[in-house]
Amino acid sequence: MNGSVAAIKSEKKLLLRHFLDDNLSRFETLFACNPDSIFTMDLEGYLVQVNPAFESLTEFSVEESLQLKLQFLFPIEDMNKVFHHFHKASFGEFQNFDCRMQNKAGKLIDLNITQIPISVENQIVGVCAIAKDITHLKRKKEEARKVEVMHHILTDNVLDIIISTNLSGEILYVSPSSEHILGYTSEELYRKNIFSFIHRDDTVRAFEDRKSVLNEHVNGRGSYRVAKKNGEYIWVEMLCKPVIDPDTHLVLEIVSVIRDITEQINTKELLLNSEKLSVAGQLAAGIAHEVRNPLTAIKGFLQLMENQLDNKTYFTIIQSEIDRIELILSELLVLAKPQDLKFEVENIITLMENVKTLINTQAIMNGVQIKTIYDSDRFTIRCDRNQLKQVFINILKNSIDAMPKGGVITVGMKQHGEGKVKIIFKDTGCGMPHHILKRIGEPFFTTKESGTGLGIMISKQIVENHRGSVHFWSDKKGTMVELILPVES
């Protein structure tokens, strides 16, 4: 029986060799020049033919290879798989599988192997294997898998919300942290428009910021109020980055990181209100003086009215002075009372004139004259009027304080490029040295004995919230502050 089996194997091995010898010349170029490793085995697993690529891959010479059996090429942990597929191929089934091969130096190589049964005279006499080196591909897949796992770990556990939206603002992806911060699950937010969650007073600003990201292909940053599931609003900072197609250079989508900054905003509000109270206290002396003068006039004219009740001129003067008192007091109340942010279209020249009226008495008491130069009689801007007034007051007060012996403050306003206005405050004080100028705006940094160091910091923040910028220049001839703000077309 054993002799019969051996005879059959020997016969099939002989048929295989004849088949290879007869067909080698027909496929010699394909066999010899193929970049993939090709090796042929008899039904016992002995190698009977290899190509040059096999030599290069395994580092075995042709002579060495033809002495090898299948199990010597593969690590023991992959052997079951290799023999399973070889057994199926020896029964006439085409096989394709991934495994590892061990070369002469013991290095493991990832392969994709295709096994093709060789049939001669209607019987399987051997198996031809084509092995493709996929070590680099496996490594790339493993790296990609690790990146994907890390991505899921980060997005699933990061406290900020990571969100992806298409060009129209529809949410394509949102990280699970949305449920913790906003109360919405990822599924509830999918395909919703991001603008439907932004406070209506912040929508225009958010839209303009997003338009800059889309049109200019730059990263964007903005702070807005966003609705939670329970109806409450929280302040968030949104950092946006466009995803750009490398071929068309068009924006495909926008990826944003959203961070809850409600606590920071509340802290800034406390600082702002503290600064408002400080300014109100400092202005109290000037306002008292301003109120005292019209009241003195009223008292004098009232005394004259006892004898000249028919003289209407006095009534007009009295009404004018009372109106002036009401204007000053109303400005003081607005300044001292905390207000919700409310962006509306305002004439910035009117705002400046109101501030000038409020602070002019303090300026006169310090021998300071405030001059205004406007290139136009109307610059309209979308702003929170009370916050901008706070900025103007802070700057003008600093200018007055910088001129204890008196001087001139020139306030200029002119068009700056397309869609912007430049506001310049220039005083004739002694200026600031460079080491102090570069620290302007740092919290709690001040050169005044009774100062808080918060005025300029808060002013810069207000201007930035209005999508503007602040610049400072100073020398021995004085200091100049430049505000650049977007105007309404």
Single residue among 105, 138, 171 that ends a domain in this structure: 138
What's phi and psi for 129, nearest 5 deg?
-115, 135
Q: How far apart are CA 140 and CA 163, in angstroms?
A: 27
Per DSSP bridges, beta strands 407-415 and 380-383 are unpaired
Structure tokens at 216: 């200019």
0.75 surpassed by pTM: no
**Is the same domain home to 284 and 247?**
no
**Is the same domain home to 278 and 255?**
no
- Which residue's structure tokens are 């004139």? 353
**Is the same domain home to 272 and 249?**
no
Single residue among 230, 260, 290 that ends a domain in this structure: 260
**Is the same domain home to 269 and 239?**
no
**Is the same domain home to 384 and 330?**
yes
Please check whether residue 143 lies inside any domain of the structure: no
Q: How far apart are CA 213 and CA 221, in angstroms?
A: 9
pLDDT digit string (tens) for the chain, length 489 residues: 455 656 666 777 777 777 777 676 666 777 888 899 999 999 888 999 999 999 999 999 999 999 999 889 999 999 999 999 999 999 999 999 999 999 998 899 999 999 999 988 888 889 999 999 998 888 888 887 877 777 666 666 667 898 999 999 999 999 888 998 999 999 999 999 999 999 999 999 999 999 999 999 999 999 999 999 999 999 999 999 999 988 888 999 999 999 999 888 877 776 666 666 566 556 655 665 666 667 666 766 666 665 666 656 666 666 667 666 766 655 555 555 555 678 889 999 999 998 998 888 889 989 999 999 998 878 899 998 888 988 998 899 889 988 989 999 999 999 998 889 999 999 998 888 887 777 776 655 566 655 555 677 778 888 888 889 999 999 888 999 999 999 986
Distances in Å between the Cα of 402 and the Cα atoms of 230, 370, 453 are: 50, 14, 15
Q: How far apart are CA 444 and CA 428, in angstroms?
A: 25
**Is the same domain home to 280 and 324?**
yes
**Is the same domain home to 202 and 112?**
no
Per-residue confidence (pLDDT) for residue 263, from 0 to 100:
85
> Which among 402, 404, 459, 461 has a CA at the least distance from the CA of 427?
402
Per-residue confidence (pLDDT) for residue 110, from 0 to 100:
92
Domain span including residue 357: 265-486
**Is the same domain home to 329 and 447?**
yes
Distances in Å between the Cα of 6 and the Cα atoms of 9, 10, 45, 128, 296 are: 5, 6, 14, 22, 132
**Is the same domain home to 220 and 351?**
no
Per-residue confidence (pLDDT) for residue 226, from 0 to 100:
95
Please check whether residue 290 lies inside any domain of the structure: yes
Per-residue confidence (pLDDT) for residue 328, from 0 to 100:
63
Q: What is the CATH number of the domain that holds 50?
A: 3.30.450.20
Per-residue confidence (pLDDT) for residue 276, from 0 to 100:
63
Q: Which residues contact 46 (CB under 8 A, 6 or more apart)?
A: 66, 68, 69, 70
Please check whether residue 350 lies inside any domain of the structure: yes
Residue type at position 294: P
The overall longest dimension of the chain from CA atoms, in Å, is 151
Structure tokens at 155: 């997005």
Q: How far apart are CA 458 and CA 392, in angstroms?
A: 12
Q: How far apart are CA 325 and CA 318, in angstroms?
A: 11
Per-residue confidence (pLDDT) for residue 292, from 0 to 100:
65
**Is the same domain home to 330 and 401?**
yes
Per-residue confidence (pLDDT) for residue 396, from 0 to 100:
93
Please check whether residue 356 lies inside any domain of the structure: yes
> Which among 73, 436, 382 has a CA at the least distance from the CA of 64?
73
Cα angle 190-206-456, degrees, rounded to a multiple of 5: 135
**Is the same domain home to 449 and 354?**
yes
As a residue count, the chain comes to: 489
What's phi and psi for 368, nearest 5 deg?
-110, 135
Please check whether residue 147 lies inside any domain of the structure: no
Please check whether residue 149 lies inside any domain of the structure: no
Q: How far apart are CA 208 and CA 466, in angstroms?
A: 12
Element (H, E) at 408: strand 407-415
The DSSP secondary-structure symbol of 214 reads H
Number of domain units in the chain: 3
Per-residue confidence (pLDDT) for residue 407, from 0 to 100:
94
Q: What is the CATH number of the domain that holds 383?
A: 3.30.565.10
Single residue among 238, 260, 282 that ends a domain in this structure: 260
Please check whether residue 146 lies inside any domain of the structure: no
Distances in Å between the Cα of 423 and the Cα atoms of 111, 160, 357, 388, 411 are: 70, 37, 18, 12, 7
Q: How far apart are CA 146 and CA 136, in angstroms?
A: 15
**Is the same domain home to 366 and 444?**
yes
Please check whether residue 184 lies inside any domain of the structure: yes
State the Cα torsion 387-388-390-395 to the nearest 10°.
Answer: 150
